[in-house]
Structure 1
Amino acid sequence: MKQLIISLGRQVGSGGHKIAEALAERFSLPLYDKNLIAELAAQRELDPETLRKYEEAPRHPYLSRSIRGLSNSAEAGLAGMQFLFLREKAAKGDSFVVLGRCSGYILREFPGLISLFVRGDLADRVASIQQAHHLTQDEALEFIRKGDKRRAAYHNEHCPTQWGHGDTYDLTINSSRLGLSGTTDFLEDYIRRRIAAEP
């Protein structure tokens, strides 16, 4: 099989993580999500719990600064390590699924890349977060608001493209329309068609 890199961005509560897991299983590919932190920590002999504090987070505007393109930000440093890790994997010809981490942009030069974005209706997202985290409706709304804001800020800090905008991805899909299983089936079919269309 030719190289296949599935990059999946997602709104909080849209089911994007479960869809990424299912696609990784269906295509027999490794999934890089939070486990990427553990790999980086092991490679560099760092504490994974310390790294997790800065994962997929924008730089703190009052605690960081850049001089000649170099930043003292822990968030930016971790982002750079993750970007390098993914580029090295892709440059070796590895195939994988990656959740977020600006992967649709940082791996854009690899022809095997397919970039996806999963969104969902707010009511469905709220219900999903309420169930997963045992929150009230208002608490779930705030959880979603903060999570989406953080993801957008992280993406927009590192990429010239806009998080969640249709032009940024090959395909965006609303998981509320088909449900998680139906959305996964649709995306699997789309990916297989893309593979078959490659010269």
Structure 2
Amino acid sequence: MKNNVIAISRQYGSGGRELANILAEKLGYKLYDRQIVHMAAAQLGISGMSESQLKEFEDNVPPLSLKFMPFYIFGMSGAKPMNHKMFEQESEIIRRLAKDGKCIILGRCADAVLQGNENVCSVFVCANDEY
């Protein structure tokens, strides 16, 4: 294997971030999480937003309409919503990071974006309510 990539998805409160930090330190891998959002925002020309504003922007998903992604395939026109552009930009960044070298990508749908790549190990971390 040329590069090794670990894509970690997690359930809220399961300790996935802690696991990612420990793995990155022990394996000597780079760890990417929120940096991907900042890189995508910069490439889209979105600047001057705080961490909380970026998080709110990323999480804000408007109600589905006829302009939802599957309908673009069938020739519907119109500009894509900014959160779709953001996801596409984040996906491209994830693909580039995976090609660059050994890394751990936390969240950001990296498991789906990198699905089918031979050098990717996808992990889902979950925990029960007591944890």
Q: Structure 2 vs 1, CA of residues 114 and 62 (structure 1 numbering), >3 Å: closer, same or farther?
A: closer
Aligned 1:115-134 pairs, distance under 5 A: 115-124=122-131
Task: Note the 1:1-199 alignment, pairs <5 A.
Answer: 2-47=2-47, 48-49=49-50, 50-55=53-58, 57=59, 59-61=61-63, 65-66=67-68, 67-69=71-73, 72-90=80-98, 92-124=99-131
Which residue identity is paired with 1:68?
A: Y
Equivalence for 1:152: none
Give the distance between the partners of 1:18 and 1:42, measured in 2 at CA: 27
Aligned partners of 1:54 and 1:78 also within 8 Å = no
Report 1 or 2 for greater relative contact order, CA contacts < 8 Å, sequence distance ≥ 6.
2
Q: Structure 1 residues 43, 61: CA separation in 2 closer, same or farther (over 3 Å shift)? A: closer
- Give the TM-score, by structure 1 length: 0.53
Q: How well do the aligned residues superpose, as a CA RMSD in angstroms?
A: 2.5
Q: Distance in 1 between matches of 2:118 and 2:5?
A: 9
Task: Classify 1:93/1:68 alpha carbon distance in 2 versus 1 (closer, same or farther; 3 Å).
Answer: same
How many pairs does the alignment contain? 122
Separation in structure 1 between the aligned mates of residue 7 and residue 95 of structure 2, nearest angstrom: 13
Q: Tell me if structure 2 keeps the 8 A contact 1:5–1:114.
A: yes
State the TM-score, normalizing by the size of structure 2: 0.77
Distance 1:61 1:43 in 2: 25
Does the 8 A contact of 2:91 with 2:113 survive in 1? Answer: yes
> In the TM superposition, what is the alpha-carbon distance from 1:10 to its structure 2 partner?
0.6
Q: Name the SS for the 1:53 alignment partner.
A: helix
> SS in structure 1 opposite 2:18?
helix
- Paired residue secondary structure (1:122): coil
Q: Distance in 2 between matches of 1:64 and 1:84?
A: 25
4+ long deviations beyond 4 Å: none
- % identical aligned pairs: 27
CA offsets 1:22-58 (integer angstroms, 9 cap, x no match): 1111111111111222233344442243533233x37
Segments of 5+ residues of structure 2 without an aligned counterpart are none
1:90-116 per-residue CA deviation (whole Å, 9 max, x = no partner) reads 2x3422101111111211232110000
Please give the secondary structure, in 1, of the residue aligned with 2:130.
helix
